[in-house]
Amino acid sequence: MLEGLDPEQREVATALNGPVCVLAGAGTGKTRAITHRIAYGVRAGILHPSTVLAVTFTNRAAGEMRGRLRQLGAQGVQARTFHSAALRQLQYFWPKAIGGSMPRLIDRKIQFVADAAAACGVRLDRNELRDVTAEIEWSKVTQTVPADYAPAAVKAGREAPRDPAEIARIYSGYEDLKRDRAVIDFEDVLLLTVAVLQDRHDIADQVRAQYQHFVVDEYQDVSPLQQRLLELWLGERDNLCVVGDASQTIYSFTGATPDHLLDFRARHPGATVVKLVRDYRSSPQVVHLANGLLAQARGRAAAHRLELVSQRGPGPEPAYTEYTDEPAEAEGAARRIRELIDAGTAPSEIAVLFRTNAQSETYEQALADAGVPYQLRGAERFFDRPEVRKAGVALRGAARFGGNDALLDDVVDLPSQVRAVLSGEGWTSQPPAGSGAVRERWESLAALVNLAHDFAAARPGATLADLVAELDERASAQHAPTVQGVTLASLHSAKGLEWDVVFLVGVAEGMMPITYARTDEQIEEERRLLYVGVTRARERLHVSWSLARSPGGRASRRPSRFLDGLRPGSSAAGGARAAAGTVGGIERGVTGVGTAAAPVVRRAQRTPARCRVCGRTLTDAGEMKLMRCEDCPSDMDEGLYERLIEWRAEQARLTGQPAFCVFTEKTLMAIAETVPEDAADLARIPGVGMRKFKRFGADVLAICAGQDPAGVTDDD
């Protein structure tokens, strides 16, 4: 069961008692480590399968974990999402804890939020409904009640899609409506399970008797509500293994926080902390860029970043390409992808990753024009989006009956006609504030406005009817096979996935970081989002940006600040120095009553020895003792060296040992070259161990100072 695991993964697999925190960098085999941990415990008879509960955040991840455990012979282990595990317990204990039948669980809360808003006299469109719903979900996972929403949103730096007091009223009305209709939502599942376990100690004891060992994956994404549920599952016990990476925290807008991961050692002073930094996914060149991205990061998560070490063979350097405009960037990516496919790369092993879903349309069209099949992940196809379809209907109607439309009375050119029509669908000349559905809807409509500009420039004299025909042709041309296609995905939806080749597109200021990221915390989350994108690539990485939006446009854009000092020809912003990352290894906690003693480092990565003359990395043991290459010039004090040789001969005679057992000649040469002035200088010289330092240190320092040594007597 332990074969094939590296030393750190093996430590994860065998540390089955007490709290364990696994800090796992991207591509370091964390799922392999924790599934082997569970399977090893089961196969060794230490863990009973039915007493183990492994929780993660997506059904896909839970299913993958169950599959791996079955392959490893650990059937019977529960691997579920937080919601699935809580729902199972709530359904079982509802008759005993509350009585009667459990309320119906609603799949989607949009309609309930709409009804609650209407009851409050507030009219919300579809996109505002989605944003307000997101605010209600955030409130519930952060355990914020309606009365506290407004101050909590301000404290968290959230940009509310409506007046906070208005959202609080809708939130309160939503809760009342659910109660009246006897239904619950997914957040209620967690809240009610927490309430039952808090109020009914007999039920809590029954759950704790069932589950005695817990594993939590993606721990950096835990919300306060999920953390509270986990604490209730645990009780006073500490058989808990958590796995996460603070540098991959990209869902803070949903209530996720890395604080639980970063504070784990403070809550569990006796915890074993294992750091996985051996990257088995990406080439050294990709890993170097990933490390460089985080080297300039700031904040608490950055202070705990992991320095990845690639375990793969060398690959090509990341490619950086600057384009004149967005269409040229999309066409360039499509052209390279076509070449890769023609050379034998499977389309399913290629991904194009972008910051916002609204960017997909340009790449959908470019890939379709190049005859490249593609599939969209985590987003609707551009022309299938409701706002785009509705806009198409409006444009088609204007093309047919525009003569009777007052909006078009004073406009003559095609772009102005499109702007006038789409203004009735929510398009404005300035983008809305915030990052929610309203912004995404605006970006979709803005993409149509931009398309009209480009179409009119390419076909002077084109009419609105011509544009509608063009839109229809584009929509039909994008019906490409989706099974073996190139993946188009937003950076958020790419989390947890990997490809041989990744194209990171639109990596320019205003998009990465996104315009509405203003605070230091928001900027750092954008940096982490780009880091996640980079670490999706196994072999090849293409990074690109464009200077203008459309052909002939003003070249006012610049590459993302996150690439400063990393891409060729750029320098680090402000001359900032890269911060050192955390190395891999294992730290064992020191247990004790009422104390949180400092960890004992069992294994740490050594700094490479370098020649003090030419700076070359040293590998020969003799050269490492001298701290210089054999061929590099020596500045040894010849007289001091001779005195040390004479002293060593006398010590060997007195102690009856061979001379090299006192100090080797290489160690004496190193001493004569560095001429240590104090104990600290002498102790730093390779070959001067603690035992020899205690026995001979005073004599050696005396000789270096030109004094007579005290010497060693025959009695010694």
* 29 is an annotated ligand-binding site residue: yes
Structural domain spans, the chain: 7-94+197-276, 104-181, 319-378+485-563, 382-477, 618-715
Q: What is the residue-wise DSSP string for 667-692? A: HHHHHHHH---SHHHHHTSTT--HHH
| CA distances, 208 to each of 41, 92, 230, 232 (Å) | 19, 15, 11, 9
Of the candidates 154, 180, 186, which has an alpha carbon nearest to the alpha carbon of residue 167? 154
The region of weakest confidence among 231-245, 368-382, 520-534, 605-619 is: 605-619
pLDDT at 471 over 90: no
Q: How far is CA 639 from CA 290, 409, 649, 673, in A?
A: 51, 101, 16, 11
> Residue 53: is it exposed, middle or buried by C-beta count within 10 angstroms (0-12/13-18/19+)?
buried
The 10 Å Cβ neighbour count of residue 638 is 9
Kindly tell me if the per-residue pLDDT of 355 is higher than 60.
yes
User: Hunting for tokens 């930094």 — which residue is that?
Assistant: 277
Superfamily of domain 319-378+485-563: P-loop containing nucleotide triphosphate hydrolases (3.40.50.300)
Most confident of the following: 133-142, 508-517, 532-541, 559-568:
532-541
Measured between alpha carbons, how far is 221 from 520 in angstroms, rounded to an integer? 20
Structure tokens at 613: 């003359």
Task: Let me know if the fold of 7-94+197-276 is the same as that of 319-378+485-563.
Answer: yes
CA–CA separation, 13 and 3 (whole Å): 11
**% of the chain residues with pLDDT over 90:** 39
Structure-block tokens of residue 365: 């069209």
What is the reported pLDDT for 709? 83
54 belongs to an annotated ligand binding site = no
Q: Give the per-residue pLDDT at 64.
A: 82
Supply the pLDDT for residue 598.
Answer: 38
Check whether domain 618-715 has CATH 1.10.3720.10, yes or no: no
User: What is the pLDDT of the chain when averaged over all its residues?
Assistant: 84
Rounded CA-CA distance 470/448 in Å is 11
Burial of 508 (0-12, 13-18, 19+ CB in 10 A): buried
Nearest Cα residue to 419 out of 398, 434, 435, 437 = 398
In the structure, what pLDDT confidence band is assigned to residue 436 with cuts at 50, 70 and 90?
low
**What pLDDT does residue 682 have?**
86
- Report the SS3 class of residue 711: coil
Q: List CB contacts of 181: < 8 A, sequence separation 6 or more.
A: 112
DSSP 8-class letter at 220: G
Q: Three-class SS of residue 468?
A: helix
Does 25 carry a binding-site annotation?
yes
For residue 543, name the pLDDT band (cuts at 50, 70, 90). Answer: very high
- Please give the Cα distance from 44 to 29 (Å, whole number): 22
Q: Specify the higher pLDDT residue, 685 or 222.
A: 222
Q: Is residue 519 part of an annotated ligand binding site?
A: no
| Residue 186 falls in which region: left (phi positive, over 0), alpha (psi -120 to 50) or beta | alpha
pLDDT grade for 380, boundaries at 50, 70 and 90:
low
R_g of the chain, CA atoms, integer Å: 32
Residue 637's SS3 state is: coil
Share of the chain above pLDDT 70, in %: 88
User: CB–CB of 139/164 below 8 Å?
Assistant: no
Whether the upstream peptide bond of residue 513 has omega within 30° of 0, thus cis, is: yes
Residue type, 128: E
- Residue 561 confidence class, pLDDT cut points 50, 70, 90: very high
Model pLDDT, residue 377: 76
**Contact assessment for residue 703 and residue 677, using Cβ atoms and an 8 Å cutoff:** no
Confidence at residue 684, expressed as pLDDT on a 0 to 100 scale: 79
Comparing CA positions, the residue from 637, 629, 702 lying closest to residue 672 is 637
| Domain 7-94+197-276 fold | Rossmann fold (3.40.50)
Residue 271, annotated as binding a ligand: no
> Is the model's pLDDT at 575 over the cut of 50?
no
What pLDDT shows up at residue 434?
A: 58
The rounded distance, in Å, linking the Cα atoms of 519 and 537 is: 29
Three-state secondary-structure class, residue 136: helix
pLDDT at 625 over 80: no
Per DSSP, the three-state class of 511 is strand
Residue 482 marked as a ligand binder = no
Is pLDDT larger for residue 507 or for residue 162? 507
> What number of helices (H) and strands (E) belong to the chain?
28, 18
Place of tokens 């047919």: 400
DSSP annotation of 310: E
Measured in whole angstroms, the distance separating CA 473 from the mean position of its chain's CA atoms is 39
244 annotated among ligand-binding-site residues: no
Q: How confident is the model at residue 713 (pLDDT cuts 50, 70, 90)?
A: very low
Cβ neighbours for 365, distance < 8 A, ≥ 6 positions apart: 330, 474, 477, 478
Are 502 and 539 in contact by the 8 Å Cβ rule? The answer is: no
Task: Determine if residue 28 is labeled as part of a ligand binding site.
Answer: yes
User: Residue written as tokens 């309320």?
Assistant: 103
Distance CA 102, CA 93 (A): 10
Counting every residue written for the chain, the total comes to 716
Q: Which of 184-193, 200-209, 646-655 is predicted with the least confidence, judged by mean pLDDT?
A: 646-655
